Amino acid sequence: MYGYYRLASAVPTLKVADVAYNVEQIISGIKEAQANDAAVIVFPELSVTGYTCGDLFFQPTLQEAALKGVQHILEQTKKLPILAIVGLPFVYQSAIYNTAFVLQAGKILGIVPKTMLPNYREFYEKRQFVSAINPRHDASIPKTIKVLNQDVPFGTKLILNQSGTPLSCAIEICEDLWSVVPPSSQHCLAGATAILNPSAGTELTGKANYRRGLVSQQSGRCLAAYVLSSAGVHESTMDFVFAGHSIIAENGRLAAESPRFSRTTTFIYADIDLERLKSARISESSFNDNYVDTKDYQYIEIPQSITQSPDLRYAHNPKHPFLPPTKSRTERCQEIIDIQATGLAKRIEHTNAKTLVIGVSGGLDSTLALLICDRALKLLNRPASDILAITMPGFGTTGRTYNNAVQLCQLLHTSLREINIKEACLMHFKDIGHDPAEHTTTYENVQARERTQILMDLSNKLGGMVIGTGDLSEIALGWSTYNGDHMSMYAVNCSIPKSLIRCLIQHVAENSSEELAHILQDINDTPVSPELLPPSDHGDIEQKTEDVLGPYEIHDFFLYHFIKYGAPKEKLLYLAKHAFAGDYDSALIEKCLDTFIRRFFTQQFKRSCIPDGPKVGTISLSPRGDWRMPSDAGYATWM
Query: pLDDT value at position 321?
Result: 96
DSSP lists the bridge partners of residue 254 as 249
Average pLDDT value for residue range 256-277: 97
Per-residue pLDDT for 480 more than 90? Answer: yes
Query: pLDDT value at position 137?
Result: 52
For residues 130 and 93, the answer to whether their CB atoms sit within 8 Å is no
Average pLDDT value for residue range 579-592: 97
CA distance 23 to 54: 19
Per-residue pLDDT for 121 more than 90? Answer: no
Work out the pLDDT band at 179, boundaries 50, 70, 90: very high
Query: Is residue 514 among the annotated active site residues?
Result: no
DSSP calls for 175-234: HHHHSSS-HHHHHHHTT-SEEEEEE--B--TTHHHHHHHHHHHHHHHTTSEEEEEE--TT
Query: pLDDT value at position 541?
Result: 84
From 114, 157, 319, 571, active-site residue: 114
Question: Considering only CA atoms, which of 614, 610, 612 is closest in space to residue 340?
Answer: 614
Query: Is residue 609 among the annotated active site residues?
Result: no
The mean-pLDDT minimum among 100-104, 120-124, 216-220, 383-387 falls in 120-124
For residues 414 and 443, the answer to whether their CB atoms sit within 8 Å is no
Per-residue pLDDT for 136 more than 90? Answer: no
Question: Considering only CA atoms, which of 387, 322, 315 is closest in space to residue 353?
Answer: 387
Per-residue pLDDT for 138 more than 60? Answer: no
Average pLDDT value for residue range 507-520: 97
Average pLDDT, the chain: 95
Query: pLDDT value at position 205?
Result: 94
Strand ranges of the sheet holding 158-161, from the earlier edge strand across to the other edge: 253-257, 247-250, 225-230, 194-199, 168-171, 158-161, 298-301
Q: Which domains does the chain have, with CATH numbers?
A: 4-301 (3.60.110.10), 326-549 (3.40.50.620)
CA distance 86 to 49: 10
Model's pTM, two decimal places? Answer: 0.93
Query: pLDDT value at position 142?
Result: 82
For residues 634 and 601, the answer to whether their CB atoms sit within 8 Å is yes
Give 593-623 pLDDT, tens digit per residue.
Answer: 999 999 999 999 999 999 999 999 989 999 9
CA distance 463 to 208: 57
Give 309-343 pLDDT, tens digit per residue.
Answer: 999 999 999 999 999 998 899 999 999 999 999 99
CA atoms within 13 A on the CB side of 214: 21
Per-residue pLDDT for 80 more than 60? Answer: yes
Measuring CA to CA, how many Å separate 618 from each of 315, 321, 520, 565, 622?
A: 21, 11, 27, 11, 12
Question: Considering only CA atoms, which of 197, 208, 201, 210 is closest in space to residue 233?
Answer: 201
CA distance 598 to 593: 9
The mean-pLDDT minimum among 129-143, 233-247, 598-612 falls in 129-143
Query: Which residue has better confidence, 429 or 133?
Result: 429
CA distance 65 to 20: 8
From 174, 188, 333, 494, active-site residue: 174
Query: pLDDT value at position 307?
Result: 87
What is the chain's alpha carbon radius of gyration, rounded to the nearest angstrom? 30
Query: Is residue 45 among the annotated active site residues?
Result: yes
